[in-house]
Chain A
Amino acid sequence: DAKTTQPPSMDCAEGRAANLPCNHSTISGNEYVYWYRQIHSQGPQYIIHGLKNNETNEMASLIITEDRKSSTLILPHATLRDTAVYYCIASKTSYDKVIFGPGTSLSVIP
């Protein structure tokens, strides 16, 4: 699995967009970018994933650069309930190792 790097922490004002960056410069061609988040003491929750096209769902948008070496998760209107640790992972869709890095601790501030 490709290693990813994320800033350890970020703040975001409530109601503003939260933009969480991730670098995955060694990602291979068949690896997708997955995002999960973990709210304190709960199991991680899947948010979104993509290969090379930008993706959007009801939770977030994922922007992947053309060279696929980095991506940004966008929470369009952050709420206090979005305070969590966000993990960016590069892995294949097949049954494979899914390795979590340290993630980004996002604090949404009133």
Chain B
Amino acid sequence: DTEVTQTPKHLVMGMTNKKSLKCEQHMGHRAMYWYKQKAKKPPELMFVYSYEKLSINESVPSRFSPECPNSSLLNLHLHALQPEDSALYLCASSQRNTGELFFGEGSRLTVL
């Protein structure tokens, strides 16, 4: 299994809603990443988890709250988002000895 699975594929939410994005991998990778990508821009790093611990937070607003409940699962909890947070949210995982990232297909978020 060489897949990173992200759910949901599409999400529409209001500014007062609370929702979550989910990411799962079963490749035994011990690092997992969240990226945000706006149209026609490169992916922008948000968070890195290493061995289920948050190791990098790229000064992301607190309305985005990551969680890594176990080595296979990564969540991104969303609360009180703004319309400018509408974007494609990408999850990735990697293994230490080779370093290449495996990406999911992303969750496209629209904030109304």
Within 8 A of B (CB), among A33-47: 34, 36, 41-46
Chain B contact surface mostly: strand
Residues of chain B lying within 8 A (CB to CB) of residue A76: none
Q: How many A-B residue pairs have CB under 8 A?
A: 65
Contact B105 A42 (CB under 8 A): yes
Q: Does A102 contact B (CB under 8 A)?
A: yes
Would you give the shortest CB distance from A9 to chain B, in whole angstroms?
12
Contact B99 A91 (CB under 8 A): yes
Could you list 18 A-B pairs, sorted by A, with CB under 8 Å? A41-B88, A43-B4, A43-B92, A44-B43, A44-B90, A91-B99, A93-B96, A93-B97, A93-B98, A94-B99, A95-B30, A97-B45, A97-B58, A98-B94, A100-B42, A100-B43, A102-B41, A103-B42
Given contacts A93-B98, A100-B35, A100-B42, 15 further A-B contacts (CB under 8 A): A34-B99, A34-B100, A43-B4, A43-B104, A44-B43, A44-B90, A46-B102, A49-B98, A85-B42, A94-B96, A95-B94, A97-B48, A97-B56, A98-B92, A100-B44
Please report A residues at the B interface, Cβ cutoff 8 Å: 32, 34, 36, 41-46, 49, 85, 87, 91-103
